[in-house]
């Protein structure tokens, strides 16, 4: 019997409990699950690809389901999928807004690689609002993300935002007390 290989792509910057949920459920659909960590410097990730891979490996535990591998990739996802022998791409959906984008991507991927199918898994209700972007924002502002991420990712976020990061934090200019109304605003605002 042919090994069923699936790819679950993402930036995983950082990995969240929502990702872990999709990973666990995708394991039941294949024999081998390849977590494809996107290398895309245009996204300006908080963590390097090496750090993201380490966080995934630290938090994705062996189970009775499919074997899990973690690899980095860049370029077309379907080219990566073919290179690892995958016939399935797994994508998690949180809301209808995700569906529109993912549907377009699935159709384009089908056009480029007709033998590679996209499978959508709905997020569990408790993770339907969780995204790496929101988790980073909450952590940056000092909020507790321990219910949204695995422990290793929460620690990494605390450490990343505890250290001063040059070029990332903008200081607001001090307001001068001139008695004048700031440009572009009204006295009522």
CB 74 within 8 A of CB 42: no
Rounded CA separation 60/57 (Å): 6
Going by C-alpha positions, the residue among 110, 94, 107 that lies closest to residue 148 is 94
Residue 132: which of 23, 40, 52, 34 has the closest Cα?
Answer: 52
Q: Which residues are catalytic?
A: 19, 43, 94, 132
Structure tokens at 149: 């991420």
Residues near 50 by beta carbon (within 8 Å), at least 6 away in sequence? none
Can you read off the two tokens belonging to residue 184? 């572009």
């Amino acid at each position: 019997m042919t090994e069923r290989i699936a790819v679950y792509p993402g930036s995983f910057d950082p990995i969240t409990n929502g990702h872990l949920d999709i990973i666990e459920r995708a394991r039941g659909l294949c024999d081998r699950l390849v977590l494809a960590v996107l290398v895309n410097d245009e996204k300006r990730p908080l963590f390097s690809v090496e750090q993201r891979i380490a966080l995934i490996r630290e938090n994705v535990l062996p189970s009775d389901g499919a074997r899990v591998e973690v690899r980095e990739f860049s370029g077309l996802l379907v080219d990566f999928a073919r290179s690892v022998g995958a016939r399935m791409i797994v994508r998690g959906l949180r809301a209808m807004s995700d569906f529109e984008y993912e549907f377009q991507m699935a159709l384009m991927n089908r056009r480029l690689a007709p033998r590679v199918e996209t499978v959508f898994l709905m997020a569990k209700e408790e993770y339907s609002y969780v995204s790496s972007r929101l988790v980073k924002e909450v952590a940056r502002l000092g909020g507790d993300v321990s219910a949204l991420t695995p422990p290793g990712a929460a620690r990494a976020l605390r450490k990343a935002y505890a250290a001063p990061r040059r070029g990332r934090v903008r200081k607001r200019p001090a307001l001068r007390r001139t008695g004048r109304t700031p440009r572009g605003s009204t006295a009522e605002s």
